[in-house]
Structure 1
Amino acid sequence: MKAPFLWDPYSDQPYQLKDRAFKKAMRKKELFSLLSTFLSALLVLPVALLAQIVIPKRRILSDSFFGMSVNLDKEPQAVNTLTDELELSTLLIRFPLWEMERLESYVDFVKVNEGRKIILNVMQDREHVEDLALLKSDLESVFQAFSPYVDCFQIGSTINRAKWGFFSVREYLRFYEVAYELKRRRFPALRLLGPSVIDFEYHFTAHALFNFFTVRYDAVTALLYVDRRGAPENTQMGFDLIKKIGLLDALALMSPKASRSLYITETNWPISNTAPYAPTSEYECVDEESYADFMVRYYLLAFASQKVDAVYWHQLIAPGYGLVDNREGLRKRTAFNAFKTMQRSLKEMEFVSFEKKHGIFTLVAKNIIQTTTVKWSLDFQTLTYNTPQPYLDRDGNTRESQILKIGPSPIYLIEKSD
């Protein structure tokens, strides 16, 4: 059934499907898939809940953990300079299938960032969801064009939102199966990533990972937003960010269709007073200081879980949610320096420990050069030392004090190795 409309999910503007009759017909058509999603969740999620308790952590180094999403349509000439300043080694670049005529421009954009680890997110539209022959032809062209520079392809995005083109998990699995067959027959060196469920809606993830389709994910991806809950430490149905990651890790480990590798390929907070560019209402938006705090703490919590290979912030340049606002020139938000400080302070580090004690969160990581201890608190706490302690504040400024005031903005205590 052909969609009586087109939409652009690549835009900053949220799109509402206005043809209710079409939506209703598609939901009816995909009723079997919706029932399969329910049954998959009913069978799999309780087991995963129990399994996550005993599943050990992995050994995740920080080398390529701090990822960033960049787009060709947002100040491409500035991207390389900004990514160099942030010392980014890990990028995610979107390629929309509805822009096949611009394929060479996207390849050139990837070439500029060659040398970094890149995930190419191949984004769907309704035309390619409905026409699998067209999908196969265009995916073949995409793999052929990008494979000299990229070996990781995220197939599809936001599969549990109808406005992005999928009305069911089965539609996504049919879509992904085309990509998987191409990889198996013609591009065996490529790694394919999915299923890219957005938010804490793991019933869709369960169906995507437990099914009878001929598919396999070389890594599991998720768009794990927690912005509607406020701070990243807040809970949803009893799950904070680390517990949500733990459950997703258990699903990946249990699935016969996936490896245990896990990437959070999209997350952010919308910024106040940026309408119409913020993707949510003003109610969910936060000020720029909170945005910077939440971003750093999200990364720290995800790293502390030791179950995520990389987190990709969405994204570098965007008026409503990026590290850089491009409405009137390029303005680096506070979060830009906060990201730079986090990246530099934890670069090439190994996780040592994480705890919450007396209201203070403490993460410790080290390498052969130094040990970095990061501290923060949701309210303000005070630590008193015998001698003045040098530290970096969230934005990279060097400070020193015998009495440390620990609050929502993380601080870094760095001790050089002997």
Structure 2
Amino acid sequence: MKAPFAWDHYSDQPAIIKDKALKRSMRRSALPSLIKTFCVALLTLPVSVFIMPFIPRRHISGEHFFGMGVNLSYEPNTAPYLVNELGIKKLLIRIPLWEMDRLHEYVAFIRSFKDKEITIALLQDREHITSPDMSRDHFIQIFEALEGICHTYVIGSTINRAKWGFFSVNEYLDFYSVAYALKKERFPHLKLIGSNVIDFEYHFTAHTLFNLKPIRYDALGSLLYVDRRGAPENTQMGFDLIGKIRFLAALIRLSPKTSGELIITETNWPIKNTAPYAPTSETECVSEEDYSDYMVRYHLLAFASQQVSCVFWHQLIAPGYGLIDNREGIRKRPSFDAYKTMLFHLKDAEFIRYHTNNKGHLLVCSTPRGELHISWNLTSTPLYTYKAAS
């Protein structure tokens, strides 16, 4: 990354842009796109809310629902063993486009995970956003280097945050169009995941889904964080996590730009007393015990929605927000075992029903071991019980 953009190696995200004059200038230049975002949202979001109750559930099974982020920067030699111990089959690995000189390292890291289904997230910087030729060249290099290993790519990340390089949705659409053109011309077998808006800011998502660009998304990605609201059951503007998912599913259903598949490509909670590794202020951070419970309940609610085909947890190893803290060796947090337990019970589960009332939540699934009942409330750890098959 080139100044004024910089990467924060503690929290694994771009640092906040300190040049306020630059941000104001770029926002002014992006005004036509921002007006378009507002107008598209004004037309589409109310319709999406109206049709939410009528959107049918998809058939989402536990077999393909669980995914985990892993990072070359954190214990690359140990990560494959920890992945196997956890039992996870689907991984998401981020490749920053400004680290093309390390592409061979990323390829070796990706190859170290045997018999895993790997999705690659291509992270942008300002240089790649403003240079389509550079992006095209680097996309080609990556697609060719991973031919036969990976076929699913998340194109761009966190497109509604200026520190990630985009100042408008129009800029993102131009960036995605480079990858989509390559898919059409040279790599028709690739699956491209697009949009990738962070948080409950669906006005930006709407613009990525309703535009005149000759593009399509093989799946829509969302970085659907709810950490600033505390527990995943808490509401924002009247929407809890399931409500936000159904709202997004309705918006997707209206759009001609996607097949209808929704993937949560990134989510987590920051952990207390881990600064400067936590990606937020201490105010949003939670204890390791709450992190563990919130993580499981997030997955249970997303699965209960039957709209999300996969949730990629961000991520396995990270001092500020991972299942494992590697600051002083490998320390598995309570969330590691909680995830492992959740995966054991739900990896072969099929949804039957979900119910909630003022007493708590109940998710019922069928499994080869019998009918699985998972119950919890806002102050409890989820409890797994089985009703034996007759």
What's the TM-score, normalizing by structure 2? 0.97
What residue is the counterpart of 1:41 in the other structure? 41
Percent of aligned pairs sharing the same letter: 53
Q: Is 2:10–2:276's contact at 8 Å kept on the other side of the alignment?
A: no
Q: Larger relative contact order (C-alpha < 8 A, sep ≥ 6)?
A: 2
- The 3 A distance-change label for structure 1 pair 171 and 9 is farther
How far off its partner does 1:9 sit? 5.9
- The 3 A distance-change label for structure 1 pair 222 and 184 is same
Question: Secondary structure, in 3 states, of the residue corresponding to 1:267?
Answer: coil
What residue is the counterpart of 2:4 in the other structure? 5
Question: Secondary structure, in 3 states, of the residue corresponding to 2:119?
Answer: strand
Q: Is 2:92–2:119's contact at 8 Å kept on the other side of the alignment?
A: yes
What residue is the counterpart of 1:394 in the other structure? none
* Aligned: 1:64 with 2:64: yes
* Aligned: 1:411 with 2:383: yes
Q: Is 2:5–2:163's contact at 8 Å kept on the other side of the alignment?
A: no
Q: Which amino acid aligns with 2:185?
A: R
How far off its partner does 1:414 sit? 2.2
What residue is the counterpart of 1:351 in the other structure? 351
Structure 1: segments with no counterpart, 5+ residues: 380-407
Aligned CA RMSD, in angstroms, stands at 1.4
User: Does 132-141 or 12-21 show the bigger shift?
Assistant: 12-21
Instruction: Detail structure 1 runs of 4+ shifted over 6 Å in the superposition.
Output: none
Q: Which amino acid aligns with 1:290?
A: D
* Aligned: 1:368 with 2:368: yes
What residue is the counterpart of 2:212 in the other structure? 212
* Aligned: 1:188 with 2:160: no
How far, CA to CA, are the matches of 2:182 and 2:294 in structure 1? 40
Q: Is 1:9–1:164's contact at 8 Å kept on the other side of the alignment?
A: no
- The 3 A distance-change label for structure 1 pair 202 and 9 is farther
How far, CA to CA, are the matches of 2:160 and 2:351 in structure 1? 33
Report 1:90-105 matches (<5 A). 90-105=90-105
For these two proteins, the number of residue pairs brought into alignment is 389
How far off its partner does 1:53 sit? 1.2
- The 3 A distance-change label for structure 1 pair 335 and 233 is same
What residue is the counterpart of 1:382 in the other structure? none
Per-residue CA deviation, residues 165-210 of structure 1 (Å, 9 max, x unaligned), is: 1001000000000000001000000000011100000000000010
Question: Secondary structure, in 3 states, of the residue corresponding to 1:63?
Answer: helix
Question: Secondary structure, in 3 states, of the residue corresponding to 2:64?
Answer: coil
How far, CA to CA, are the matches of 1:224 and 1:200 in structure 2? 7
Q: Which amino acid aligns with 2:366?
A: K
Q: Is 1:129–1:165's contact at 8 Å kept on the other side of the alignment?
A: yes
Question: Secondary structure, in 3 states, of the residue corresponding to 2:297?
Answer: helix
Per-residue CA deviation, residues 121-155 of structure 1 (Å, 9 max, x unaligned), is: 00000110011111111111111111311110000
Q: Which amino acid aligns with 2:383?
A: I
What residue is the counterpart of 2:164 in the other structure? 164
How far off its partner does 1:369 sit? 3.2
What residue is the counterpart of 1:388 in the other structure? none
Per-residue CA deviation, residues 350-392 of structure 1 (Å, 9 max, x unaligned), is: 001110134121101112332211111124xxxxxxxxxxxxx
* Aligned: 1:130 with 2:166: no
Larger Rg: 1
What residue is the counterpart of 2:307 in the other structure? 307
Question: Secondary structure, in 3 states, of the residue corresponding to 1:75?
Answer: coil
What residue is the counterpart of 1:74 in the other structure? 74
Question: Secondary structure, in 3 states, of the residue corresponding to 1:76?
Answer: coil
How far, CA to CA, are the matches of 2:9 and 2:215 in structure 1? 26
Per-residue CA deviation, residues 234-287 of structure 1 (Å, 9 max, x unaligned), is: 000000000000011111111111111110011111100101111111111110
How far, CA to CA, are the matches of 1:114 and 1:98 in structure 2? 27
